[in-house]
A = this chain, B = another copy of it.
Amino acid sequence: MSVQKLENQIIIRNEKFIKTADQLKPKLNETIVKTASIVKMKADTDIIHGWKVETVAPGTFLADSEYGKNDSFVLDFGDHQVGYLSLKIRPAGSPPDAPLKLKLTMGEMPVEMAEPFENYSGWLSSSWLQEETIFVDVLPAVISLPRRYSFRYVKFDIIDTSPKYRVVFENVECRAVTSANISAVKKSLHQDEELQKIDEISIKTLADCMQDVFEDGPKRDRRLWLGDLRLQALANYETFGTNDLVKRCLYLFAGVPDNKGKVPANVFVAPQLIADDTYLFDYSLFFASTLHDYFYATSDIETLKELWPTAYRQIELAIERLDENNILKDTHDWWSFIDWQEGLNKQAPSQAVLIYSMKQAFRLAEELNVPEKDSLKAKLLEIVEATKIHLWDEEQHFFISGSDRQVSWASQIWMVLAGVLTQEENNKLMKRLLAENPAVCIATPYMYHHLIEALLVSGEKELAIAEMKIYWGGMIQDGADTFWELYDPKKRDFSPYGSHLINSYCHAWSCTPTYLIRKYQL
């Protein structure tokens, strides 16, 4: 993986849009969660990452235990939490004659408790690893850690007290936060227990990612990405209906386009709204897609009217990348996300994303009855036609991508979702894809979502459910409390970052099964 760094990014701030976004800033709902139990991590090669959790004592045991220099223990909060930790510490023995030095390590997974962060050598910043070393000068004390963590487990390492005193942790609790309206979720009692469980964990995953904005991961990145927003919004409409948060996020993106009108792939919201210097072809188009989905979930015509120019502008800018044959230019200087699959050529899937988004944009143009609807339709037909001519390989019966005519899963999936072929052809294509299993596969839950949806829209409900169970059901079997950023059922320890310590184990783009289950009534 590499990163974009722009030297000459010019942002044209739309203060009206930014103000609208600010006014929609949600109030967070808080829940106090107590320690469930004291646990220990035990090496076990059968378990993912090699670590099993064993219960040592109930959480209430803590207040009766004294700890001194070099003592260590792990607390289990029973489920994934996103929030703020506080601890009440009292001294035992003589009056404390030296500060307490305490190291806390917060982790979503047992491996984060069992393997020392000091050994981390991945290429993402080690600053994402959740730990704090605190000095407490005066005891007893109530320590409220100011940073927010994403965790189920907390490891306590008592680095030092003094020979004269020990410490007792009387109360350790988490003030969990989310902007999701949990009570709005319709109870679903699925006959299929596995799908029921997948639905529940999807909803938990989404809730934990819903904060001031839809974050991509509450542990790592913690910011608003457009591609992830689109999926979170879809899951939200089927569950929490916290639709103002989607609206807020759309206004945030619309608030900081560049001087060509392009919206960034992601934004930061602190210390104020900042557009990242990363632009992705597909993500920009998803502004139109997300606005489309938002409008059909809410019928909020005012927002549609106000944000339509931003959405349409993304389509216009994408069309500028087409060559004389109406096919996307595949140069080395463009960025489209699609998936993290090694070696994936982005041309054909991006072409499909363009078609997919243009269809949605056209529908919005019809709703608004804006003059550009006709040119949009005309251009769309041209592009679809060109795609069938230039990107469909009649011999292989697959869409091909790039100058090497790569046959990838992503190309077929996105072409199905874009509806380039007929329903019948789509169905055949998806079955052919699964049967022939081209080498350039898919890597992320984000792309697995699109695989499942492509199976569903091409009429392969049973195959869709089966794939969902292998993938998200596999995560559950491997101990997921919330769905993960990355998962490969065949290579469970894989991390693209060089360390599974830095992976996010609660990640927005994995939350979509609840959308798929509820929308398509699986």
Which of A's residues lie within 8 Å of B, judged by CB?
3, 5-6, 69, 93-101, 123-128, 132-133, 135, 137-141, 147, 159-164, 221, 223, 268, 270-271, 274-277
Contacts and interface: CB of A to CB of B under 8 A. Distances in A.
A275 to B, nearest CB: 8
For A6, A139, A160, the residue with the greatest tally of chain B CB atoms inside 10 Å of its CB is A160
Given A132-B135, A135-B132, A138-B270, A5 B94 contact: yes
A341 B163 CA distance: 22
A265 to B, nearest CB: 11
A3 to B, nearest CB: 6
Residue from A96, A97, A268, A270 with most neighbouring chain B CB atoms (10 Å): A97
Contacts of A277: 94-95
A363 to B, nearest CB: 34
A332 B138 CA distance: 33
A125 B127 CA distance: 27
B93 A125 contact: no
A162 B5 contact: no
B94 A276 contact: yes
A260 to B, nearest CB: 19
Contacts of A98: 124-125, 127-128
B140 A95 contact: no
Contact of A95 (B100, B123, B159, B276): B276
Copies of chain A in the complex:
2
A147 B137 contact: yes
A128 B140 contact: no
Contacts of A94: 5-6, 276-277
Contacts of A6: 94
Contact of A271 (B101, B140, B160, B161): B140
16 contacts: A6-B94, A94-B276, A95-B274, A95-B276, A97-B221, A98-B124, A98-B125, A98-B127, A99-B128, A125-B160, A125-B161, A125-B162, A127-B159, A127-B162, A132-B133, A140-B271
A388 to B, nearest CB: 40
Contacts of A162: 124-125, 127
Contacts of A221: 97
Contacts of A159: 126-127
Contact of A3 (B100, B161, B164, B271): B164
A418 to B, nearest CB: 31
Contacts of A100: 127
A163 B93 contact: no
A380 B237 CA distance: 91
Given A101-B125, A127-B159, A141-B271, 4 more contacts: A3-B164, A101-B126, A101-B127, A139-B271
B276 A5 contact: no
A142 to B, nearest CB: 11
A99 B138 CA distance: 28
A268 B94 CA distance: 11
A277 B165 CA distance: 12
Given A5-B164, A271-B140, A276 B127 contact: no
A139 B272 CA distance: 10
Nearest to A95: B274
Contacts of A270: 137-138
Q: Which 9 interchain pairs have the tightest Cβ spacing? A: A98-B125, A101-B127, A99-B127, A125-B162, A138-B270, A127-B160, A125-B160, A126-B160, A95-B274
Contact of A268 (B93, B95, B135): B95
Of A94, A98, A127, A133, which is in contact with the most chain B CB atoms at under 10 Å from its CB?
A127
A137 B274 CA distance: 14
A98 B138 CA distance: 32
The interface centre, meaning the residue of A100, A126, A132 with most chain B CB atoms within 10 A of its CB, is: A126
A141 B270 CA distance: 11
A131 to B, nearest CB: 8
